[in-house]
Amino acid sequence: MKKILITGTLGQDGSNMSEYLLRDKRNKVYGMIRRSANSNFINCRGFLDNPNFQLVYGDLTDEVSIAKLVQEIQPDYFINFAANSFVGCSWDMPLHVLDTNTGGVIRCLEAIKKHQPNCRFYSAGSSEQFGDVDYSPQDIKHPMKPRSPYGASKCAAHHLVKVYRDSYDMYAVHGVLFNHEGIRRGEEFVTRKISKGVARIYDTIKSVENWRHRHGQAARVKPIELGNLDAKRDWSDSEDFMEGVWLMLNQDDPKDYLLASGETHSIREFVEKAFDVADFHGTWEGEGIDEKYIDKGGPHEYVLVEVNPDFYRPAEVEVLHGDPTAAEKGLGWKPKISFDDLVMRMVEYDIRQCLGKNENPPYSNS
Ligand code: NDP
Ligand code: GDR
């Protein structure tokens, strides 16, 4: 059996990767979680009782726990998805971000070097490393120009993985992944914030309006509040990316690859597509912090989105657009889920939740 240690199991990628690997009965997955105050197992409910899955405790900031896990499990693969992953808060806690995202990677590499040098290691890199971009689309050779403590922490991790690989002949790779989303995405990230917001507004208007119409009243709608609407991101589906990560770990020689969709879309465009799925069709009015997305098509006028400058960042990455050609050639990997399908899947899932379905976020390929 292949033994695979995964960190960040409760998060989006850790849970998707666990589920992807558990489809093969020859894999034994050890999912590491930290003992946080309120662990949220929603992403893992579909496989928690799988006999080939085992929860283990550890924390990237605690080298004793990481070393102990590697020594005891003797994993064949170590996939490190754990991180302080929210760019927006990385200015508020830069030391913690560095300790987790960079120090954590050193702790993993050291544990592997000492206790299981044949273990293959994956480090979760990010398009945020490119930051203030020089050209589009970005390839793996694009210079590192981070704009946030988070981006800087991932750049340092990237260098360290290469240093360990070259110094100790380890199979260690740092994948540079552009934004990837889905129904297990954290609610603080803009795509999920939008899909959940659309579902909430849909529920409010559709369930209240019929009754209120008779009295000539509109529903009371709280708009989604967003920051920079002009930022552009290269969005893909997380499940697609897990296949790419696994391929990266199973090459003859270790090599860093970049995974992306090859398309870029603005936040504004994501908003429009998401509301389209729920059959709301707005128009943008006003400028800057006064800009709003308004639906005037029905019997009542509704403000669906407004700008709240609290969500602006001290420094913004304006555009990210990845070039996945090298991964296509070297790994034979291509994303399958389109931007439109991704938005549709997220909004439809969140609407079903609002309507009381209460389903665990399913892994679509299972
Ligand atoms: P999530 O935020 O969904 O998951 C991160 C997980 O890391 C959480 O479960 C969290 O645990 C865990 N974690 C945080 N700090 C620690 C710690 N000190 N010790 C152990 N576990 C910890 O992130 P994603 O799944 O979206 O991303 C996975 C990785 O990929 C991250 O490294 C991220 O930076 C990187 N990445 C993500 C991209 C994306 O678009 N999703 C793109 C590029 C890179 P808890 O549940 O207890 O909070
Ligand atoms: P990002 O994702 O910073 O790209 O990092 P996020 O969804 O947080 O932001 C994307 C863009 O949307 C703009 N934005 C808002 N963002 C949030 N969160 N909330 C808002 O209200 C809002 N309004 C506008 C942001 O300014 C930004 O430009 C994600 C994470 O998964 C990282 O861990 C990963 O490394 C990168 O993707 C690639």
Give 90-140 pLDDT, tens digit per residue. 999 999 999 999 999 999 999 999 999 999 999 999 999 999 999 999 999
Distance separating alpha carbons of residues 306 and 204, to the nearest angstrom: 17
pLDDT at residue number 216 = 67
Tokens 């290469």 -> residue: 162
Q: Residue 321 in contact with residue 239, Cβ under 8 Å?
A: no
**What number of other Cβ atoms are within 10 A of residue 2's Cβ?**
12
Distance separating alpha carbons of residues 306 and 285, to the nearest angstrom: 10
- In tens, the pLDDT along 6-28 reads 999 999 999 999 999 999 999 99
pLDDT at residue number 143 = 98
- In tens, the pLDDT along 196-221 reads 999 999 998 887 665 555 556 778 89
Instruction: List all residues whose CB is within 6 A of at least one atom of ligand 2.
Output: 85, 87-88, 126-128, 178-179, 188-191, 193, 226-228, 231, 233, 267, 311, 313, 316
Lowest mean pLDDT, pick from 47-56, 171-180, 290-299, 321-330 = 290-299
Ligand 2 atom with least separation from CA of 127: 38
Ligand 1 atom with least separation from CA of 177: 43
Distance separating alpha carbons of residues 346 and 280, to the nearest angstrom: 16
What is the chain's mean pLDDT, rounded? 95
342 alpha-carbon distance from chain centroid = 13
Helix 190-213 with 339-354: angle, nearest 10 deg: 50
- In tens, the pLDDT along 234-244 reads 999 999 999 99
Residue 366, pLDDT above cutoff 50: no
Distance separating alpha carbons of residues 81 and 83, to the nearest angstrom: 6
- Kindly compute the dihedral angle of the four CA atoms of residues 353, 355, 358, 360, in this order, to the nearest 10 degrees: -30
Instruction: List all residues whose CB is within 6 A of at least one atom of ligand 1.
Output: 7-8, 10-14, 34, 36, 59-61, 81-85, 100, 124, 126, 177, 179-180, 186
Nearest to 179 by CA among 266, 99, 248, 105: 266
Higher per-residue confidence, 172 vs 38: 172
